[in-house]
Amino acid sequence: MKVDNERRRGVSYLKRVADVNAVYQQWARSGLSNREIWRRYIYPEYGISERTFYYMLKYDVSVKKDCPASPRPLLLFDFDDEQE
């Protein structure tokens, strides 16, 4: 049974997480606090809560969780039209 935080994430969610992390990295170097970055730059653009912002900072975008138990359906069939 999968735990809630182990579920697969969509591509649009991963892109949003990457965008939020990029904005955070840009402004964290300047010395702003996390709350100030969220209030000034993240919330007006993405409309996410502060808690969601912290979850997105923890999420590793480089690791894509694919389910190896479910093969892609089109690979189950041989669509070769060559007949001998």
pLDDT in tens, 42-65: 999 999 999 999 999 998 877 655
> What's the token pair of residue 74?
């089109």
pTM for the complete prediction? 0.64
**Residue whose structure tokens are 């359906």:** 73
Q: What is the DSSP track for 40-65?
A: IIIHHHH---HHHHHHHHHS-TT---
Integer Rg of the chain from CA = 19
pLDDT in tens, 11-38: 888 899 999 999 999 999 999 999 999 9
Per DSSP, the three-state class of 67 is coil
Per DSSP, the three-state class of 82 is coil
